[in-house]
Amino acid sequence: MTELFDEYHSNYRDVVQSSIDFSGLPHSFFMRAKVDVLRELITKRLGSEKPAMLDVGCGVGSFHPLLRGLVGHLTGIDVSSASIAQARAANKDVAYRDFDGETFPFEDASFDMVTAICVIHHVSPAQWVHFVGETRRVVRPGGLVCVIEHNPLNPLTRLAVSRCEFDQDAVLLGAGRTLELMSKARLSEIGTRHFLLLPWEANLARRVERALSGLPLGAQYAAFGTRSG
C-alpha cells in the first residue's frame, strides 16, 4: 500500500475527481459533507471544546484546511512518505508523521478524537480488528473515534470505486461490519449515520439527509464510538 500511494501522491486529487466526474460534482463537495458530519459529532459527543484530533491515513492532507476552526491541535499520519511530505508543505499548522501501517506512533490516550476517513477499505481485512483497536488505544477515555467509509450498498458508490485507479484492490465494508469492529475494540455508545444521499448543499437537502441517515442509502457512512473510562 505504501508504494501505491507514493505513486499517486502528486495527482491524488485528479484521480479522485476523475472517478466521480459522472456525478457532476467536485471532490470538494464530498469533503465538505464529511466536515458537516464531523462538526455534528464533535458538538454532540465532545461539547464546545476544540478537540485534539488524529487523522489516520491522511494522504496529502487535502481535507485538513477544512478542519481549521473546528478542531484544535491536528495530527496526521500515513504510510506514504511522499504524501506526508506534500501534506507537510501544504499545511504548516498540522503535525505530520510517517506510519508503518500497523502501530500508531503515539502513546495511549493521546487524542480527544481519532478519524479514519476512507482508509479501512485499503487495509487488509485480516488487520481490521487491530486497526480499529489502535484507534481506541490512542484516544482518551471519553474521546471519540469516527470511521468514514464508502457504503457498498449504494450502486453509485460502487461505480465510483470501480473507476478509481487506486481502489482496484479495495475491500468495501458495510456499516454493520464497521460497528462489529468497534464493538470488538470495546468502544461504547456506537452508532452510524449515512450521508451523501442528495447532490445539493442547501439546508433543505441536508435536513432530508439527516432524516434518512439511519437508512443505508447514502454514498458514505460515518461509524462512531466512544472510549469509556
pLDDT at 128: 98
Give pLDDT tens digits along the chain (229 positions): 544 454 544 556 675 667 677 677 888 899 999 999 999 999 999 987 899 999 999 999 999 999 999 999 999 999 999 999 999 999 999 999 999 999 999 999 999 999 999 999 999 999 999 999 999 999 999 999 999 999 999 999 998 888 887 677 889 999 999 999 999 999 999 999 999 998 888 888 888 888 988 999 999 999 999 999 7
**Long-range contacts of the stretch 102-105 (C-beta < 8 A, 24+):** 102/127, 102/130, 103/134, 104/54, 104/56, 104/77, 104/134, 104/135, 104/137, 104/138, 105/77
Kindly list the structural domains of the chain, giving each domain's residue range(s) and its CATH number in brackets, ordered by start: 2-226 (3.40.50.150)
pLDDT at 13: 63
Cell numbers that stand for 77 in this block: 499520519
pLDDT at 8: 45
Q: How far is CA 138 from CA 42, 51, 90, 104, in A?
A: 17, 14, 26, 8
pLDDT at 107: 98
Q: How far is CA 122 from CA 41, 118, 153, in A?
A: 24, 8, 18
pLDDT at 146: 98
pLDDT at 3: 47
Cell numbers that stand for 132 in this block: 480499529
pLDDT at 26: 85
Q: Is 74 helix (H, G, I), strand (E, B) or coil?
A: strand
